[in-house]
Amino acid sequence: MRSDTPDAADTSEAADGPAEADAPDATDAADAADAVTDSTSSDAAAEAPSRAELAARVEELEDAIAAATADDDGKKMSIIATKGTLDMAYPPLILASTAAAFGYEVTVFHTFWGLDILHEERSKNLKLSSVGNPNMPVPNVVGALPGMDRVTTSMMEKKIDDNDTATIEELIDTSLEMGVEFQACQMTIDLMDYDEDDFYDGVTTGVGAATAIQDLAEADIQLLV
């Protein structure tokens, strides 16, 4: 029946006739429902495009798909990095470098404390907070004592070293080599009173939220870390 629809459209005036004639004959609810259905389908048939119109539409859509895929031959990932503690500096860098290995075009937009990851000097001294994380080996009340952040950071740094886990600097260098684009939020640079020279070579400065939105809109994977 369905495949006949385009043909039915050509004889839509004839199709309309019986449907309208059926409706008044309906005496119970079921018949009325059938009549409504019949009437709807014949209306649809009346409005259904012809084969030629469908063929033209298919061609139009095929062109649109071809244009869309031609424009999007590379996979993209966009990450927004907002945190600057030692533990939270890792995920965006690990995911960025790995995605680059998969062939993704990766941008990481660093804003607020996330900017410290790109700061050549500060990135080597990122701290681990000793409070606020119940998985820490010290109770929060002890963690809040002066100097405890330094203790927990040293513990973490030792673990990183013992385990041969890459350092933040190594991950940044590797990511840059792999073609990852690191962007430093200009508003945060001004806010923190940083200088453009404070960042690793290859970091993009002078970018704002609109750049991030553009990257996010084009990306296959978007992450806020």
Partner 1 sequence: MSDAFDITETLDVKGASCPMPVVQTKSAIDELETGDVLEVLATDPGSMSDIDGWAAGTEGVELLDQAAGDDVYKHYVRRTE
- Cβ atoms < 10 Å from Cβ of 60: 10
107 or 130, CB closer to partner 1?
107
62 or 177, CB closer to partner 1?
177
What the block records as the tokens of 64 is 């649109």
Q: Give the up-direction half-sphere exposure of residue 14: CA atoms within 13 A in the CB hemisphere.
A: 5
Pairwise CA distance, residues 165 & 168, whole Å: 9
What is the smallest separation between the CB atom of 106 and partner 1, expressed in angstroms?
12
What the block records as the tokens of 185 is 């939020």
What is the smallest separation between the CB atom of 161 and partner 1, expressed in angstroms?
12
Pairwise CA distance, residues 88 & 133, whole Å: 13
103 or 137, CB closer to partner 1?
103
8 Å CB contact between 194 and 111: no
8 Å CB contact between 128 and 156: yes
45 or 180, CB closer to partner 1?
180
* Strand partners of residue 107: 78, 181
What is the smallest separation between the CB atom of 94 and partner 1, expressed in angstroms?
5
What the block records as the tokens of 62 is 């095929």
18 or 103, CB closer to partner 1?
103
71 or 164, CB closer to partner 1?
164
What is the smallest separation between the CB atom of 82 and partner 1, expressed in angstroms?
21
Pairwise CA distance, residues 202 & 185, whole Å: 14
- Cβ atoms < 10 Å from Cβ of 28: 8
What is the smallest separation between the CB atom of 103 and partner 1, expressed in angstroms?
6
Binding interface with partner 1 (CB under 8 A): 94, 97-98, 100-103, 163-166, 171, 174, 177-178
What is the smallest separation between the CB atom of 207 and partner 1, expressed in angstroms?
25
Pairwise CA distance, residues 44 & 39, whole Å: 9
